Amino acid sequence: MQKKPKGKFWPQVRALIWEKAEQLFMQEQMRTMNCDIKPERCELREGGYFHTAKLIVLRELYLQRYNPQRVK
């Protein structure tokens, strides 16, 4: 059985999403409980951090690619 080739876009984007989700979690923890703990991925998904991070990262990538400011 042949292995399915890995893509170039989503593996990199997924790593950025997990990184951003962890960053959002840590910011919330520092703001509310003043503690520094490393979350598990299931906590990030259950808390909605993964979804929020996904929206942020994809929006940032879109704006980088399709900058709304056009050079005159």
**What confidence tens digit (pLDDT) does each residue in 1-48 have?**
677 777 889 999 999 999 999 999 999 988 888 777 889 999 999 999
pLDDT of 1: 65
pLDDT of 67: 76
Return d(Cα 31, Cα 50) in angstroms, integer.
19
Q: Is the pLDDT of residue 71 over 70?
A: no
Q: Is the pLDDT of residue 72 over 70?
A: no
Q: What's the residue count for the chain?
A: 72
- Decide if 46 contacts 38 (C-beta within 8 A): no
N-to-C CA span, the chain: 53
pLDDT of 60: 93
Return the structure tokens found at 30. 């520092």
